[in-house]
Amino acid sequence: MPQEFASGLVIQGFTPPLALANFRLIAFDMDSTLINIECVDEIADAAGRKAEVSAITEAAMRGEIADYKESLRQRVALLAGVPVAALEQVFSQRLQLNPGAEALVRACQAAGLKTLLVSGGFTFFTDRVRDRLGLDFTRSNVLEVADGQLTGRMVDQPWGDICDGDEKRRMLLATCADLGIEPSRAIAMGDGANDLPMMAVAGLSVAYHAKPRVREQAMVAINEGGLDRLLELLA
């Protein structure tokens, strides 16, 4: 049964502390986990369609939409005609790292962990977050652009079409294989239903201010405070 380790910090299935140095990889979701916004919703605001897109995002994150890929295609289609300059504004004016993000990343890096950002969002943002935090690996989706505007479509990549929950899981496992480690030595952090597949194969799964279904299945649920509260459980 889950138990509250400290205020707003719930654990199940293990007894803390764990040794951070026993892990070799930490994988993060981006939107509403490492950062404070859902980027697709904020881009939609520029098209006057934030409410419509946000409703789909919320349903997808709660796990109420079985086909995540189709839900993302629907949302991206509503972005057709948005200028790339609007993405720049979202990044510079609305996107912030969530509290404790940098402290947790730095602690993990200092302990020798590699860092992976896996997102159902877009490379426009993940590449910038990667560079800001010095992350090692990323996987996310590419928005198609023509004449300085979004077309409402995404671009297929060598690994596939859309980074959904299954792709997050595959990327975590592939990164573990490349590093020569077992998935049990990986930490996975997320907030939405599409994070559950990668959380299920990691040695430590962490829900951050997450949807109920994710909180219920994670080994750690951070319900109050910043991402760095994970360090309270890791010696």
Confidence bin at 133 (pLDDT 50/70/90): very high
Instruction: Give which of 231, 195, 198, 203 is closest to 219, Cα–Cα.
Output: 203
* Domain total in the chain: 1
Say if 88 falls within a structural domain.
no
Residues pairing with 97 in the sheet: 35
Instruction: Give which of 40, 65, 36 is closest to 51, Cα–Cα.
Output: 40
Confidence bin at 1 (pLDDT 50/70/90): confident
Say if 189 falls within a structural domain.
yes
Pairing outcome for strands 114-122 and 25-28: parallel
Q: Is the pTM of this model over 0.85?
A: yes
Say if 14 falls within a structural domain.
yes
- Choice among 31, 164, 191, 195 that is catalytic: 31
Say if 110 falls within a structural domain.
yes
Q: Contact, 222 vs 32, CB < 8 A?
A: no
| 8-state DSSP, 19 | P
Say if 85 falls within a structural domain.
no
Q: Contact, 115 vs 137, CB < 8 A?
A: yes
Q: Contact, 192 vs 29, CB < 8 A?
A: yes
Q: What is the CATH number of the domain that holds 172?
A: 3.40.50.1000
**Residue 140, domain extent:** 3-36+97-233
Q: Is 131 an annotated catalytic residue?
A: no
Q: Is 195 an annotated catalytic residue?
A: no
What rounded mean pLDDT belongs to the chain? 97
Say if 149 falls within a structural domain.
yes
Instruction: Give which of 30, 1, 29, 27 is closest to 14, Cα–Cα.
Output: 1
Give tens-digit pLDDT for 170-219: 999 999 999 999 999 999 999 999 999 999 999 999 999 999 999 999 99
- Choice among 29, 41, 164, 195 that is catalytic: 29
Nearest-angstrom CA–CA distance, 59 and 191: 13
Q: What radius of gyration do the chain's Cα atoms show?
A: 17
Residue type, 169: R
Say if 161 falls within a structural domain.
yes
pLDDT of residue 226: 98
CB atoms within 10 A of CB 115: 20
Say if 24 falls within a structural domain.
yes
